[in-house]
Amino acid sequence: MDEGQYDGKVDAWSLGITCIELAERKPPLFNMNAMSALYHIAQNESPTLQSNEWSDYFPNFVDSCLQKIPQDRPTSEELLKHMFVLREHPETVLIDLIQRTKDAVRELDNLQYRKMKKLLFQEAHNGPAVEAQEEEEEQDHGVGRTGTVNSVGSNRSIPSMSISASSQSSSVNSLPDASDDKSELDMMEGDHTVMSNSSVIHLKPEEENYREEGDPRTRASDPQSPPQVSRHKSHYRNREHFATIWTASLVTRQMQEHEQDSELREQMSGYKRMRRQHQKQLMTLENKLKAEMDEHRLRLDKDLETQRNNFAAEMEKLIKKHQAAMEKEAKVMANEEKKFQQHIQAQQKKELNSFLESQKREYKLRKEQLKEELTENQSTPKQEKQEWLSQQQDNVQHFQAEEEANLLRRQRQYLELECRRFKRRMLLGRRNLEQDLVREELNKRQAQKDFEHAMLLRQHESMQELEFRHLNTIQKMRCELIR
């Protein structure tokens, strides 16, 4: 009830409650306290129509409006398409209602007019006798009876209608408001009051019967009645003319009953006042405990959020540290690889230079050997010697070139092989470093999650303990208020 949003579903519920109130002339759970009715509706089924005198469309319309789940209630467009709204209605409904109301008011007015006219007619014919009888009664009963009348007038309240002396000329008071219909009906069924020359006369239904029996027209229609019976009726009528003149015991009993009623009403009002006070105390306590619970929850949430932020900062710092370590390792690997290649290339260059020097020496020795062979063979012409020497020199140079190419190929293969081996060793080292860093990060995350889980468990236990303590406090207050 406190957290919902106002939308068309709430209006659909209000429409259903209004339909029940219009149909039954009172809202559902009218005799219950407002808050009790709200809790009763929330914990029980939705209100329904009590009588079965309606058509099938109207209860269906009310039930659809009073669905407990707001999502199940129809929208205003769907309600406008309901058969209860779309079916044909008589156009004279309001006119018929107004006419029935006018007829009821006119009938009530006529009834009041007839009763007033009868009372005025009886008072006009019986006034002097009543006054004489009043004097006799006052002389017989003395001052005590007069005090009784005064006490009754001050302690007993009877609904009455007043008519002034000018109303004796057949004029009747105007029609009362609709809100006084019930009290006027009670007046017609109970006592009646007529004012004549500053005297108030309370008449009961039995007195009206006696007055009808004592009417002059009735006496004229029955001339053979004995004079004694007529005098007895007249005497009884005059004695009962003042219905408010009662005995002291009756007045005392009515005063006691009135005091008992007042005491019961006072007790009931005190009970209601105490109940409102208890409800106010409970509501104050619940609001206080709710505020304490909200404050405790906010504090725990703040602690958890702070801890999570610290964990995130630590993890971010660790990740940056790992990234820096990996970047440093990559630079070291690049420098080591470069140095390794330079070292191998320097060795190979030195080896190549020594190889070329050896080839030069061998070439010179071979050239000298060839010259010695030519000098030993004197019979060979000089031109042939030169050709043969050139051919031998070309062969030696070609052989040396092949040897040099083979050496360069071997050096290149060796360099590639050693570089791959070096890279393999460096990659294995990098992989081991990455595994160590990832393992460190996972261990850190696991430790943080374990700590956070333990913190959540402690917070849950704290919330549960606080909630149990609040419920115990509320229950103790309820028990104290019941006592």
C-alpha–C-alpha distance, residues 41 and 37, integer Å: 6
Fill in the DSSP letter of residue 201.
E
Q: Are residues 259 and 376 in the same domain?
A: no
Q: Are residues 268 and 290 in the same domain?
A: no
Question: What mean pLDDT comes out for the span 242-265?
Answer: 76
Q: Are residues 345 and 417 in the same domain?
A: yes
C-alpha–C-alpha distance, residues 151 and 144, integer Å: 10
Fill in the DSSP letter of residue 166.
G
Structure tokens given for 141: 């009963």
C-alpha–C-alpha distance, residues 375 and 364, integer Å: 16
pLDDT band, residue 245 (cuts 50/70/90): low
Structure tokens given for 476: 């103790």
Q: Are residues 361 and 291 in the same domain?
A: yes
Question: What mean pLDDT comes out for the span 263-275?
Answer: 88
Q: Are residues 465 and 392 in the same domain?
A: yes
pLDDT digits (tens, 9 = 90+) for 355-364: 888 888 888 8
Helices 382-482 and 248-376, packing angle to 10 deg = 170
Q: Are residues 79 and 121 in the same domain?
A: no
Q: Are 205 and 164 in contact (CB under 8 A)?
A: no
Q: Are residues 263 and 372 in the same domain?
A: no
| H or E segment and range at residue 428 | helix 382-482
Per DSSP, which regions of 128-246 are E strands?
Answer: 192-196, 199-203
Structure tokens given for 348: 């190979």
pLDDT value at 64 more than 50: yes
Which residue from 160, 140, 137 is spatially nearest to 245, judged by alpha carbons?
A: 137
Q: Are 127 and 220 in contact (CB under 8 A)?
A: no
Q: Residue 281: which residues within 8 A CB-CB, separation 6 or more?
A: 477, 481
Q: Are residues 306 and 367 in the same domain?
A: yes
Secondary structure (3-state) at 200: strand
Token look-up 């009886």 returns 122
Give the per-residue pLDDT at 283. 93
**Residue 156 placed within a domain:** yes
**Residue 177 placed within a domain:** no
Give the per-residue pLDDT at 321. 93
Q: What are phi and psi of 346, to 5 degrees?
A: -65, -45
Q: Which of the residue ranges 168-177, 209-218, 322-331, 412-421 would you say has the lowest mean pLDDT?
A: 168-177
CB-based burial label for 9 (10 Å; 0-12, 13-18, 19+) = buried
- Backbone dihedral region for residue 197 (phi beyond 0: left; psi -120 to 50: alpha; all else: beta): left
Give the per-residue pLDDT at 186. 43
Angle (CA) 102 169 243, round 5°? 85
Which residue from 36, 35, 18 is spatially nearest to 27, judged by alpha carbons?
A: 18
Share of the chain above pLDDT 70, in %: 72
Give the per-residue pLDDT at 327. 93
pLDDT value at 180 more than 90: no
Q: What are phi and psi of 225, to 5 degrees?
A: -70, 145
Give the per-residue pLDDT at 80. 92
**Residue 97 placed within a domain:** no
For the ranges 62-71, 110-119, 198-207, 239-248, the maximum mean pLDDT occurs at 62-71
Which residue from 179, 217, 190 is spatially nearest to 115, judged by alpha carbons?
A: 190
Give CA separation, 448 vs 314, 436, 440, 445, in Å: 10, 18, 12, 5
pLDDT value at 221 more than 50: no
**Residue 94 placed within a domain:** no
Task: Report the C-alpha dihedral over residues 446, 452, 457, 460, rounded to 10 degrees.
Answer: -150
Residue 18, domain extent: 8-86
**Residue 176 placed within a domain:** no
Q: Are residues 322 and 448 in the same domain?
A: yes
Structural domain total, the chain: 3
**Residue 396 placed within a domain:** yes
Q: Are residues 129 and 263 in the same domain?
A: yes
Give the per-residue pLDDT at 204. 41
Q: What is the CATH number of the domain that holds 13?
A: 1.10.510.10
pLDDT digits (tens, 9 = 90+) for 289-314: 999 999 999 999 999 999 999 999 99
Of 176 and 133, more confident: 133
Q: Are 307 and 452 in contact (CB under 8 A)?
A: yes
Q: Are residues 297 and 446 in the same domain?
A: yes
Q: Are residues 52 and 163 in the same domain?
A: no
pLDDT digits (tens, 9 = 90+) for 383-430: 777 777 778 778 878 888 888 888 889 988 999 999 999 999 999 999
Question: What mean pLDDT comes out for the span 365-394?
Answer: 74
Q: Are 252 and 260 in contact (CB under 8 A)?
A: no
**Residue 360 placed within a domain:** yes
**Residue 95 placed within a domain:** no
Give the per-residue pLDDT at 308. 93
